[in-house]
Chains A and B, each alone.
Chain A
Amino acid sequence: MAALTSAPARRPRRRPAGVRQAGSERLFNRVALGVLIALALLWLVPLLWAVITSVRPPGEIAREPTSWFTAHPTLSSYRQILASGRMPYWYLNSFITSALTTLLAVVTASLAAFALSRLRFRYRRPVFLLVLAGVMVPPQVLMIPQFLSLEATGLLNTYWAVVLPQVPNVVAVFVFKQFFDGIPTELTDAARADGASWLRIYAQIVMPLSRPAISAVTIFAFVWSWNNFLWPLLVVTDPQMMTLPVGLNSTQDAFGLPQAQLMASAVLGALPLLTVFLFFQRRIVEGIAGTGLK
């Protein structure tokens, strides 16, 4: 259950001991490997194709659209996309909104989870169930009143319009609570006996111990916020204020843009999170696996 508190005790998987590698076993493995590699290569095609297209010189694509080979690779498309000026803004906007969202989500969710986990109070159970029920409500069906409320407060076309509705993260509360429940009570009892306030216990004892949970929530909240499209599409219409996905969509709008440039902007759009993936692969995968095992 507490997949995040300790790595699952995994026995290294060996081939069934004592059984001679039967011919059928070996054959099966060969076929399996072959199929797997073929599929993996197939899966890499779209991205590779985009990269190849993005470095082809302008006229070449019109002449030979589906050729895999290019004699004169060039970065001119990238230069043109970056020169037209808007993409750096989009990166910045996405970063800021995602960072703000994640920060606020982690703080609010962990505080709430702490209260639900450690503090006894009268309406604890109903509150917890109410919060959990929120998981059933997809934010997309709430976009009209959310839009209207932001319009009324004059926050449209600011970062806050993107950030605020994304902050209440029920899954994060759940993840934190599960984790906090697993922290031994002796720790908090001792601190409590020393006279520490609950807030202090939260900040100086419990949170520092909760790295796995924090990093999981951070990564997921950040990635989810970064990739959110529909909501920023509604609330950010100023091209300079757009987040990356919305900005990329508006690039596509200006067709008449050669494919090489469109693919260059796609590659540029893919880079940030692919980089995140390369650095945080393990955590991301563990986080997902942990969700599954609950």
Chain B
Amino acid sequence: MPLTEQEFQELQQRAKAIRREIVDVTGWSGGAHIGGSLSMADILTLLYWKYMRLDPAQPEWEDRDRFVLSKGHGGVGHAVVLAQRGFFDRENLRKFNETDSMLGMHLDCHKVPGCETSTGSMGHGLSQAVGMALGARVLKKDWHVYCIVGDGESDEGSIWEAAMSAAHYKLDNLIVFQDRNHMMIDGLTEEVMSLEPLADKWRAFGFETREVNGHDLHQLAEAIDLALEVKGKPVMILCDTVKGKGVDFMENKPDWHYGGLSSELVANAKRSIGE
């Protein structure tokens, strides 16, 4: 179903609230993977506030939809989403990265309610998402598995091993987003290690592939609606995104892959995101 105007407004506000809190946590923690967390914020907003079947009061509910953050460096963004969605007390965000706190740079599924699996090392999450999707088939369950793959981690051969197996087993309960923000730590993906033609690659690997603007909630929603109808193959929603999206001085700057923020920069960043 296309987004209603009211839904759109609410989701847009939510995405801004997520971005503002990502900035806050980056400030509190002394440093975080902010650029890639901001680039995927709109995708996560739609998943957690519109599409995923979940119950924050029962994070282990058997029939829930699963989400795997294959680009585990986005842990700070995912943590903010889980906190705002009510999986745990937002006060935990203030202790991000602290010894023995619930939240660290890469989320630990044994500590963080709502986190399905521990990621962080690149190129691992998609395989685990494939396992969860296969698991639904074995157990005759109708849950969907959503997964966000980074573009940088797509240099890893294991991503393509996983892609091959998802198509081989016709996992139409697996919907993968690629956060195509075109950047990795050392610079532009196309300069560090070329990925293009990326959409062609996913199609060649057997994915029903759709290219969208990863910050356009209407386009994203339409793509997810279509993905839910696909039969017999996994889906790739290739999201053209901007690293650091929403914060003017961070956008499209690889240096903001990871960084810390002074209180002044926090204020500037939140002003840029807006209310």
A interacts with B:
no
